[in-house]
């Protein structure tokens, strides 16, 4: 559009290297650009079986396909893998998304994890001290054993990184296999009793009712 001469800044046709500040008036085909939409955030309870991408090359159902079209463009803050559940933050603001994903933000992500096996105190201490897997160093995790039920155990895990499959890989490294993983909080945001929804109409309603626009 710029190369076609359709964009103007303060009444002058813009070039490809034009600097624009918030004070400048930008028009396209003579029509002023609308004011940016206020930053908004929603809490979403992701069920297992949804992919956290806009499109999936394998044709699997995605988180974004379950949202109401009236929400407009929505981005996820980080990801949860296909089989993981729980709290996913959604926002319409790309800068907010990037800030919340930065390691420097240091927000604690907390998970409820069901593992197959009997976690020993030595295994938990290994995770608490930080573990190295295939040359990749994982930061220390907060790990507590909640209860054991037969061949399974429930753990609460807290971490401040967002590496790919971090909890699952760390558990496998100490001979524990994850059967279920639920993110219960992301920094100050809590999953609470927010119900999981995959139906298009219910998702937007649940998210809005649980969290007002975040500015």
- Judge whether 81 counts as a catalytic residue: yes
Assign 98 to helix, strand or coil: helix
Give the integer Cα–Cα distance in Å for 78 and 90.
9
Among 24, 81, 93, 146, the one annotated catalytic: 81
Contact 186, 77 (CB under 8 A): yes
Give the whole-angstrom CA distance, residue 96 versus residue 101. Answer: 9
Q: What are the Cα distances from residue 52, in Å, to 62, 145, 196?
A: 6, 29, 15
Q: How many angstroms separate the Cα of 124 from the Cα of each of 46, 159, 165, 170, 181?
A: 27, 14, 18, 10, 17
Give the integer Cα–Cα distance in Å for 96 and 102.
10
Catalytic residue set: 81
């Amino acid at each position: 559009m710029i190369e076609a001469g359709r964009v103007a800044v303060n009444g002058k046709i813009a070039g490809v290297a034009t600097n624009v500040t918030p004070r400048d008036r930008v028009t396209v085909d003579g029509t002023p650009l609308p004011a940016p939409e206020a930053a908004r955030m929603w809490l979403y309870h992701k069920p297992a079986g949804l992919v956290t991408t806009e499109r999936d090359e394998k044709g699997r159902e995605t988180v974004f396909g379950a949202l109401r079209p009236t929400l407009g463009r929505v981005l996820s803050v980080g990801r949860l893998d296909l089989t993981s559940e729980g709290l996913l933050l959604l926002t319409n603001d790309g800068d907010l998304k990037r800030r919340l994903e930065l390691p420097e933000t240091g927000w604690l992500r907390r998970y409820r994890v069901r593992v197959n096996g009997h976690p020993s105190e030595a295994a938990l201490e290994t995770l608490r001290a930080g573990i190295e897997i295939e040359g990749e160093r994982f930061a220390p995790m907060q790990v507590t054993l909640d209860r054991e039920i037969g061949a399974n155990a429930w753990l609460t895990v807290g971490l401040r990184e967002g590496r790919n499959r971090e909890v699952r890989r760390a558990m496998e490294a100490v001979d524990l296999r994850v059967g279920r993983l639920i993110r219960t909080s992301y920094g100050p945001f809590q999953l609470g009793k927010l119900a999981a929804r995959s139906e298009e109409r219910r998702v937007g309603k649940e998210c809005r009712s649980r969290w007002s626009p975040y500015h």
